[in-house]
Amino acid sequence: MSTRTPWWIRIPLLFFIIFGLMEYFIDSGEKPAIIEYPITQFFLLMVLLILIAIELILSSIENVMFQTLSEEAKERYLASKAKKREWTWVKSIYKRLTKTKEIEKEGEIILDHNYDGIRELDNVLPPWWVYLFYATIIFAVVYLIRFHVAGDYDQKLEYEQEVAAAKIAIEEYKKTAKDLVDVNTVEFLSEAADLSAGEKIFTTNCVACHMADGGGGIGPNLTDEYWILGGGIKNVFNTISEGGRDGKGMIAWKQSLKPVEMAQVASYILTLGGTTPADPKAPEGEIWVDPDAPESEETIEETPTEQVSDSTDVAMN
């Protein structure tokens, strides 16, 4: 009975073991179970209360039993309890790991030279240190065999694997996060739902200057093939997001529109191309040709011949 650890160790220890087991067994995705499922907080509270209740019951049982003892037995019990409170096992482990000599016994290990009263003890290396040293040797042997003899994997492979895994994770993320378009990734959205959403955004925000049919007013004609700031989905998206030239009146819409909304309205504008508005504004800017469109042979020839390669030239490109 008296070998028990004190309650203030037992309760937290059991509590955190149960907490740990719970987190381990409940599959709660990214977040810890205690946040994902608030009911577990209630469960833990119950566990804590039950642990405290058990402690109280045990101590009262102990108390009752103590009262039934004879005077002599009571004394013996108290004495043994006081003794066991000492942390004998911790002390013995500590002693075994340091192997220090008690000051009284230092005479046994003192060396016989003496420099002006300064003398030297022949202490052994502390075992904790020696064990660590052995551990590093074992680690080194395993490491050597695994990576230099068997050639398990190297930094480059590890890097490539991580990049590949990250790319998959990014793709997964993009599927759920439609808002994640920017000028580099934006594509023409051909779905009817996106285009009608784009039309709605256009009617609410843009018709004042570009007219309902895109024929132009304060802003330029959006239906012709002349563009001041460049045509094609990427340029149009960029113009909408960042605004036109200073002082012209076309503001940066990224303040008020979400990326996906800008992609929708940009796609809608492109569908206006080639239509004939009621009162078209005269063309401004230049005819825009898509540099990515493969039309003539000359442009295809212009592939870069010089390849720069260095140690960082891996999986990413």
Tell the smallest beta-carbon distance from residue 258 to ligand HEC (Å).
12
Which parts of the chain fold into alpha helices (H)?
Answer: 7-25, 33-36, 39-68, 71-84, 88-98, 127-143, 155-176, 192-205, 207-210, 232-242, 259-272, 297-301
Looking at beta carbons only, is 56 or 208 nearer to ligand HEC?
208
Tell the smallest beta-carbon distance from residue 202 to ligand HEC (Å).
6
Looking at beta carbons only, is 33 or 263 nearer to ligand HEC?
263
Looking at beta carbons only, is 33 or 197 nearer to ligand HEC?
197
Tell the smallest beta-carbon distance from residue 276 to ligand HEC (Å).
17
Tell the smallest beta-carbon distance from residue 289 to ligand HEC (Å).
14
Tell the smallest beta-carbon distance from residue 295 to ligand HEC (Å).
22
Q: CA angle, 222 as apex, 220 and 225 as ends, to 5°?
A: 105
Looking at beta carbons only, is 33 or 181 nearer to ligand HEC?
181
Interacting residues of 208 by C-beta distance below 8 A, sequence separation 6+ = 217, 218
Q: E-assigned strands of the chain?
A: 110-115, 118-121, 226-227, 286-287
Looking at beta carbons only, is 144 or 252 nearer to ligand HEC?
252
Residue nearest to ligand HEC (CB): 244
Residue 261 CB: number of other CB atoms within 10 A?
Answer: 20
Residue 110 main-chain phi, psi, to 5 deg: -80, 140
Looking at beta carbons only, is 32 or 283 nearer to ligand HEC?
283
The answer to whether the CB of 270 falls within 8 A of the CB of 189 is no
Tell the smallest beta-carbon distance from residue 293 to ligand HEC (Å).
18
Site residues for ligand HEC per CB under 6 A? 202, 205-206, 208-210, 218-220, 222, 227-229, 236, 239-240, 244-245, 248-250, 253, 265, 269, 285
